[in-house]
A and B are shown apart, each in its own frame.
Chain A
């Protein structure tokens, strides 16, 4: 465990966006979290959430503060990461209309602003594979969609028209919507379980 204790520490990338809402959600799951803005902070986490925000801005700040390459390397070495909206864009290997290279670690192709402008932002109920109980109430804000998913990627949720809005590839989770903006903690619990499982696997 990165911090030497027995409980996982989940980092929330805090360069820009709604990182505080993820911290609140993790606290509600009784999981400690830290804000990640520096390399030292990145080194201290067992899992990372990349929040909603502006993907162009976050991509630039990852480069400006020299976090892009170290983060990519840690993900390749097995760091569990969950990207919501902008975070999902940054995880993708291929992104339409982003003027910087994304982190590029997940075998998905993402289209930015896939629904149009802010007036087309919407809320909808979704069935998400691996999340038991009633549908997940999903908030889409100038949201992307996952256009294609590679063979190693599990599609977790689609819209009525079949477009992919949640996917998982091993320890990487991508959602086009914002579970951090609702009181529903089930996706945070799913990610916490991914992190806990990764720690057990590494220890074994």
Chain B
């Protein structure tokens, strides 16, 4: 887990696992859709639809909710089967604070680790010290302070959390607006107020200063948690996301159809969301992408959920 690894046998006198290559992969994913998949067939459908990466899971978030119990890192065999099935990057989730799950995911060569609130927390006080790893991490946030704390721990990519597995976009919108609101506040503040802002955000001053200089987060930021339609995806892009994660929204669509019809409906939904993300500023193109789709996932309104069932509060 050192950062100057030369163990891979393809070293070219260069340096691996630098911040530039960790944050750089996220740059390459921008304008793209990362899809949750639970089987190799899903993974192939996702790649066929134009996903920029897949998230290898045992269950999509809405099924994690339904199953209850403890949600952990996916089985190693499943992740490896999915790695073998596609050529696009494969991500996988580790529990918050579970650095050994992360070590295992690094050992099997996943391309990105999502330290995720969708899984049950392993440590309710500490996140993984992500700078210790060669593999890059993405972490969730609900506002600027949470984003900067994760970046300080080494996250090379951020996603706003939303509320996973609901198909309800309201939390994704809330978190994206909160994040950009925080960024605008920092941008408009005079330099002498930044230390107090950093204190309020419980974030390092240097990162707050960098946000002011850049006018955005210093890493790529995707939107997650509730995207179920092409219009949802374009909404999050117009609100300032660099790309989107879609979980249950694809492989929970077309439910109730016969199996082959459902696969077709899922491929259509996935393709449509990819197109809507590329042309997020073009309503005619979003309308085009939305034509001929079956039913989106049924979903669950977050406003009617008990707070204890909401995942976004895990990890802060």
**Which residues of A approach B to under 8 Å, CB–CB?**
14-21, 37, 52-54, 56-57, 60-61, 64-65, 85-86, 97-99, 112-113, 115-125, 139-142, 159-161, 178, 181-182
Contact = CB atoms under 8 A, between A and B. Distances in A.
Given A17-B28, A85-B28, A119-B134, 18 more contacts: A15-B278, A19-B30, A52-B28, A64-B275, A115-B8, A116-B109, A118-B25, A118-B111, A118-B136, A119-B106, A119-B135, A122-B21, A124-B13, A141-B21, A142-B25, A160-B12, A181-B20, A181-B27
Interface residues of B, number: 45
Interface of B is mostly: loop
A81 B10 CA distance: 29
A186 to B, nearest CB: 18
Contacts of B277: 16
A65 B134 CA distance: 37
B31 A16 contact: yes
Contacts of B31: 14-17, 19, 53
Interface in B37-96: 47, 49-53, 87-89
Interface in B95-137: 106, 109-112, 134-136
B222 to A, nearest CB: 13
Which 8 pairs between the two chains have the least Cβ-Cβ distance?
A: A124-B14, A122-B14, A118-B111, A121-B21, A16-B31, A60-B50, A18-B27, A54-B52
Contact of A178 (B24, B47, B52): B24
Interface of B: 5, 8, 10-18, 20-21, 24-25, 27-32, 47, 49-53, 87-89, 106, 109-112, 134-136, 271, 274-275, 277-279, 282
26 contacts: A14-B278, A16-B278, A17-B28, A18-B28, A19-B31, A37-B278, A57-B50, A61-B278, A64-B275, A113-B87, A116-B10, A117-B109, A117-B110, A118-B111, A119-B109, A122-B11, A122-B16, A123-B14, A123-B21, A125-B14, A139-B21, A140-B21, A141-B24, A159-B12, A161-B12, A181-B24
